[in-house]
Amino acid sequence: MTWTPAIGIWFFPDQPAPVLVDAITRAERAGLDEVWLGDEGPAREPFTVLAAAATATERIRLAVGITNPYVRHPGVAVGSAATIAELAGGRFVLGVGAGGGMSLAPFGLTADRPVAAVREFLHVAHAARAHSAHARYRPTELAVAPQAPPVPLYVGARGPRLNVLASELADGAFVAGMPPFRYSEVIGWARSVRHIDVALYPSVAFDDADRERHRPEMIWSLYDTPPEVAAHLGLDRSAITRAATSLRNGDAAPATALIDDDLLDRLMLLGPPEVVGRRLADLVRTHRPTSIGLAIIARDLASTIDQAAAAFATMRGALGVDA
């Protein structure tokens, strides 16, 4: 096999901004190709962090994964993205989705008519990056000029309608925050109309400490999951909702109890870098993503990035590609 996807990491901006920028520069030095930074509720502002990272890096692609049309007007989001792309020489990707309880509830928002909202976001984003008019966007002489190439637009979603929308209107799909057994159907939806790019990001824990840190947090991968997925996993959706609400209020016990070892193993990749790397190689062979990465929850980002780089080296070796 002579083909291999780009490699990257996704993490949440829950640490001081200088630490986040240092982690992105470390990822570049480790040979990673992209970094996705979450935009989930009140935390460090991802666009600001990525703007700082744009001036501190030279090669790595920077991406927001993902924002939503309820917290950010698409014209403002695209203007921010275009500004960072200017700073980064075009190395920026804008990801959007409907948003879930983690990103919207802290602001008292709900995802009203999510497919229509994301569709409108994409139409406005296309207009803004082309410097053309739309019903909700009128460019002026002060607007950020369109980039060459324009900022790619990705959709992050779990269900069929938004992934089919991505296949119709977006440049790519960000596939993350779901059990690996769902990848085939989700990528199928995302490539049902056009064969768009896919960024595939399973969650990972390399050691017991990360495993336990992930355990309650994985409730968010279940919180907005379709009913059939909860049923497949043998879970009651009301129990998921109660556990997520408790976690948001600072009590991790219900989520920790709900996500036992068997369930955790179905939700994420577990093990040392060589084990994770072989599982990544299997995912690449099966799904042929444009890029593949690891969604991480870690206090020690530097060490985890090094472990991720080791896992990707194993993956490439298993695929028959020089690391």
Q: State residue 15's pLDDT score.
A: 92
Q: Measure the CA–CA gap between 59 and 81, rounded to whole angstroms.
A: 17
What's the predicted TM-score (pTM) here? 0.92
Regions of the chain short of the pLDDT cut 50: 1, 147
Enumerate domains of the chain plus CATH numbers: 6-210+268-318 (3.20.20.30), 219-258 (no CATH)
Q: State residue 210's pLDDT score.
A: 87
Q: State residue 322's pLDDT score.
A: 67
Q: State residue 140's pLDDT score.
A: 65
Q: State residue 1's pLDDT score.
A: 47
